[in-house]
Structures are given as structure tokens and as C-alpha cells.
Chains A and B, each alone.
Chain A
Amino acid sequence: MSRQDRKRRQQVDKKNARKREARAAGPTAAEPPYHGKQVPLERLDACRWRIPRTDGMHVDGVVWAREDLLPDLREDRCLEQVANVATLPGIVGHSMAMPDIHWGYGFPIGGVAAFDPDAGGVVSPGGVGYDINCGVRLLASDLQVGDVQGRVRQLTDALFEAIPSGIGAGRPELLLGDDDLDALMARGLDWAVERGLATPADVDHVEERGRIPGADPSHVSKRARSRGRGQVGTLGSGNHFAEVGVVDEVHDEAAAAAMGLRLGQVTLMIHSGSRGLGHQVCEDALTGMLQAAVDFGIPLVDRQLCCAPITSAPARAYLAGMAAAANFAFVNRQAMAHWARGAFKDLFKAKLTTVYDVCHNIAKFEEHEVEGKLRRLLVHRKGATRALPPGHPLVPRAYAQTGQPVIIPGDMGRYSFVLRGAPGSTASLGSACHGAGRLLSRHEAKRRYGDQDIVGKLADQGVIVRGASRATVVEEVPEAYKDVAQVVDVVDQGGLATKVVRIRPIACVKG
């Protein structure tokens, strides 16, 4: 061996020894930027607040909120989490939070952050969450409220029977073998069309046409498959639901007409995600990403923010598995819509048409203009909805003049909203809120309302609720949420999206 080769070998050995030492020590913990301090909020305008960049942050934080929402934001640690996300390598623009922001794990719920692959940007599975492509499907029926009067309980029962919820519940016809599961994950809604679960019109009205590019089922573990195999077309638990509503306010006649919505119309909204399959894809990736953070020398202020450069092998593997899980979620919501169509047809000979289907837990490559330059970025939305304006190339043809429908569920007692993406959403990289945002912890909701007859109380208010678990219904009590109207007002006034209709619930199926 030449002297030069020996020297090179010594250098490699030293580098490997350093790597081994680092691995043994685990991920490097860094001090969160505002740890133990009140996070400062500087007013930018009526709807936006700046969290100034400080030690470790690469960019400022920006929070969309009105002043009256701020005390609730200060109740938990969500603002710290906005600052924490700003410490991730390659973040572009701002670490952003939508007005329904609340304390999450790693990213805040309501968090949006974009990363540039060409500037060392990272992907963080925690920025997508366990429930990959959790999202909402809105369907419009050809019924008016009068058509269902006196039969809402019957409809609720039919939906409860048709849409499996609760542990171990599933439809035997969708207990898939490996080949079918692979095909479903690779092709998303195209698979559902072939199986007779979806129509081409459904596909035209789903974000990314129900198929995230780059999905590779070989990056979905055996464990993830065994968790998800029997769960296609199942609701799940927590805040997931299938809700029948009635359009009770129209704010924008033309946009409502474009979406096939009108006053008094009966609608169905389905909120669910990728079930155990997606949860396991995330968990598998986090284990690898903790190691990747060590290998790439990325200090972590919160382990749930573990990440890897977008161009690295672990990141590519995660993105391929994430896309597969996202496609699973599209099919999951589609299959539930299919069962619900059966229930509406059997009871009322009625039709359900997909208005739109949005993802709110996802990371996607999109082009956005930042500081005057068009850049291809990996946008993470953790509890945030895409809200693209009219004319944007990613908006489906049916909504080219309207802007992308933005579906914002509230709580099961009050109302939900449909908005449309507005030009001002360029400031949030085409994003808006995803719901009302929690006000009370689940524990606190249980303490305050655990001994009350929530189902009876809601029935008195005109909302029939059936839940697989009483505890879930209690923890999801309307009072546990902010008033979604306040949250939506911020989105509207801030120019991210504008109100189209309000929908009042009349029936809700909970997991």
C-alpha cells in the first residue's frame, strides 16, 4: 500500500470512528430558541404576527391570527414549536402557522414550512405527522333538507353500519392481499376506479387526482401493511368523522354554483386518513431519521423534528413510502364515500357528487415564488390545507376560475365552512387552516363533560350523533374546539381564502 493510500485509509478510518462515536452518543440535542421564555409576537398587520428570528432559527416565524385568538395560543407551547421548526436546515421564507394552530408534537398542528432541496433543505416525517394524508372529502347530494326531515336518525344508523369504525372493524371485500395493496398504494384513486369504488368524475375532484407521484410500496414495511391491510374504507377514531350537513349560508353565489352547492342542500363530509398503515410508515421513518440526524450532523431541538436532507437516501425512501401511504388515504376516503353513496341511494334514491377532497397532513413538491424567485420546494403541511388561487396550474379544471375548494370542518355542534383559495395565499405558500383547532385538551374535555349526556344534548340541538366509543364523543364535544367561524374569518380577512358556504351539521358518525 502506498503512503498516499495509507493516508487516505487513515482518514476514512478516522471519519468512520467519528461517525461511530456520534451514533453511540445519539442525536445532538440543541436548546430550543425560546425555551422557557415567552415567545414574542410582533404585529405585522391585522391578521399576522412575527416571531423574530433568534439563536438557532434560520428564518422568522409568522402566525396568522387575530388579536382575540392570541390568549388561547399562549395557553400551550404551539408558538415555541413555530420557532423550533425555523431551526430546520434549508427552510425557506418563514416557519408559518395557520389560525387554528395548537400544540402538536414537533411541528405545531397548523404548521406550514417549505424546504429547498438545492439549499440543503430537509424532509421531516414529524412535519407530516403519523396520519399521512389525513384529509377531508366533501360530497354534495341532490337532496334538500326537507327531503331528509324525520329520517335523519335512520340515515345516521345507515351510515354507521355502512362505514366501519372502531377497533377491528372493516369490510371483508376490501381485506387486501399484498399484490392488491401494492397496486392500491402505487396508483391511488386510479386503482379505486378499476375496482368500481370511484368514478372518473371523483378523480377529477381530488387533490393530486388522488395519486401522489413517486409512490413506491417497496418502502412500506411488512408491519405497516399488516396494520393497514384490513382498514381500507374505515373511519378511525379521535377527531375523524362522517358528517351529514345542510348548507345554511351562501357567501359567494357564483363559487357555490361552480362547486355544485346551494342553500338548504344536504352534504356529506368525511374526515379520515391513512389509518394504521400511515401511522407505521411515519414511525418506521422516524426511527431511521433519528439516525439520519446523527449521520448528517443535524442538531435537534425536538426529536420529533428529526429529518434528513431531501436528496439523501433516507429522505427519498420516506417520501416514496409517504406517497404510498397518502394514496392509501385517498382510497380510504373514497371507499367510505362509496359505502355512503349506497346508504343515500338505498334510503332516498339520492346521489352524492364529490365537491373536492383535500389533504391536510402531507409534504409535496410545489413551485412557489419566494423573494421574487420561482423555486421548487418541498412544502410540509401539518394540519394545514392547500388553498391555491384561481388560475393556478394545480387547481382542477372545474375550479380554474373559482380557485381550489378549501374544506374547513368545525365541530360536531356548530358549523363547517367551504372556502376558495385566494391570491393572498401566495404569502402562505398556498395554504390555509384545516379546522377549528382544539381549545381544551382531551383530558380537560373528559374532566368537564365526562358525566354529561353529550349525545342527548346534541340531539336536542338537532344533531344526531353515533359513536363507536362514548369517550371519543366526550373528548370531541363542541366546546373542546374554538369557534371555527373566528378561525375562518382570519383566513378570509388575511386573503388566504374566501368564504363560499357555511354548512350546519345534522348527523355525525364518530369512530
Chain B
Amino acid sequence: MTTAATYRFFDHTGDYGVDVDAPDAGAAYDAVAQAFAALLTDAPGCVARAEARALEVTGVDAAATLVAFGNELLYLFEAEGFLGAGFAAEAMAPDRVAGSLWGEPFDPARHPIARPAKAVTHHAAAFDEDPRTGRVRARLIFDL
């Protein structure tokens, strides 16, 4: 039996880290998007999965691709005002991920921002997929 994807924030002295445990790679990316919304707003439920944006990122390997994904979420938020809160993967490879980012346009009245992030770092970034079960453990650190 597979369990649902979970994310958990962990201590990093100046910043915030997130650990993800997911039954597969697609669910891991979805959990990272949820964690992103939770980190920014402190109230994950406040961002509705109302609209989708096509999203594609690449990296030299799975960890770098995950970092690129996190930075894409930040870019869409800061430059285009779109707050992502979920991801439906359509194509997954270690060096490329494509799919639909679900969320909604940022509305300060409904999405109080607790802590904007500057970037997602490569430090300690990990995306480890169990070759037998497909289960994924991922780690990201946000620079605040």
C-alpha cells in the first residue's frame, strides 16, 4: 500500500528547508508546490487550485531539475503574480519535468504573505527515487 505525499519543514539557521516523502515522482512535485504555498502564506488552504499554467523545467540531473522547479514557482509568483499550490506532472525524466501548475492569481486580500522567498538553493538539494518502489524522498532549502 502506498501512502500519500507529505512535506515537512525543517530547521535551517537563516532560512527554511522542506523534506518531501511521496509515493512517486509526480506526487513529490505536487507536494513541493503545496509546500511552496504553505511557506509563503503560512495558510496552505488559502490558495485554490483554480487555474493551470503549463510549466516545464530542465536540469543537469533530478536534484537540479527540482531546484529549477522551485525557482520557477518563485518566478511565476514574483514576476507574474501567479501563486502555485499543486502540480500535475505530464512528463517526468531526471533532467526534465513538464506538466500543469495549479493555483490562482495572487490576491493580497486572500493570500496574506507571511514570508516571501528569494530563491531555492542547490545546497543539500536532493531527489532520491527508490528504483524498486518508485518512492521519492526530496529536499529543498529556500533562501529567505
Q: Which A141-166 residues have a C-beta within 8 angstroms of B?
A: 166
Is B7 positioned at the interface, with any CB of A under 8 Å from its CB?
A: no
Chain B contact residues (Cβ within 8 angstroms of A): what range?
35 or more
Binds A, one of B24-32, B44-52, B110-118: B110-118
Q: Which residues of B contact A23 (CB under 8 A)?
A: 60
Is B143 positioned at the interface, with any CB of A under 8 Å from its CB?
A: yes
| Contacting pair A290 B122 (CB below 8 A) | yes
Number of contacting residues on A, CB 8 A?
Answer: 50
Q: Which residues of B contact A304 (CB under 8 A)?
A: 121-123
| Contacting pair A279 B123 (CB below 8 A) | no
Q: Which residues of B contact A469 (CB under 8 A)?
A: 112-115
Tell me, rounded to whole Å, the shortest Cβ–Cβ distance linking A80 to chain B: 11
Q: Which A258-305 residues have a C-beta within 8 angstroms of B?
A: 276, 279-280, 282-283, 286-287, 290-291, 294, 302-304
Q: Which residues of A contact B63 (CB under 8 A)?
A: 303
Q: Which B73-118 residues have a C-beta within 8 angstroms of A?
A: 75, 78-79, 81, 106, 108, 112-116, 118
The CA-CA distance from A226 to B144 in the complex, in Å, is 20
| Contacting pair A103 B12 (CB below 8 A) | yes
Is B13 positioned at the interface, with any CB of A under 8 Å from its CB?
A: yes
Find B75's partner among A102, A168, A223, A282 (CB 8 Å cutoff).
Answer: A223
Q: Which residues of B contact A239 (CB under 8 A)?
A: 14
Contact with B along A158-181 (1 / 0, CB 8 A): 000000001110000000000000
Is A426 positioned at the interface, with any CB of B under 8 Å from its CB?
A: no
Tell me, rounded to whole Å, the shortest Cβ–Cβ distance linking B21 to chain A: 18
The CA-CA distance from A294 to B59 in the complex, in Å, is 13
Q: Which residues of A contact B106 (CB under 8 A)?
A: 167-168
| Closest partner residue, chain A, to B74 (CB atom) | A279
B positions within 8 Å CB-CB of A: 9-16, 42, 59-61, 63-64, 68, 71, 75, 78-79, 81, 106, 108, 112-116, 118-119, 121-125, 141, 143-144
**Other 17 A-B pairs with CB < 8 A, given A167-B78, A227-B79, A511-B116:** A26-B60, A104-B123, A126-B122, A167-B116, A237-B144, A239-B14, A279-B119, A283-B71, A291-B60, A294-B60, A303-B63, A304-B123, A306-B122, A443-B11, A443-B16, A471-B114, A475-B115
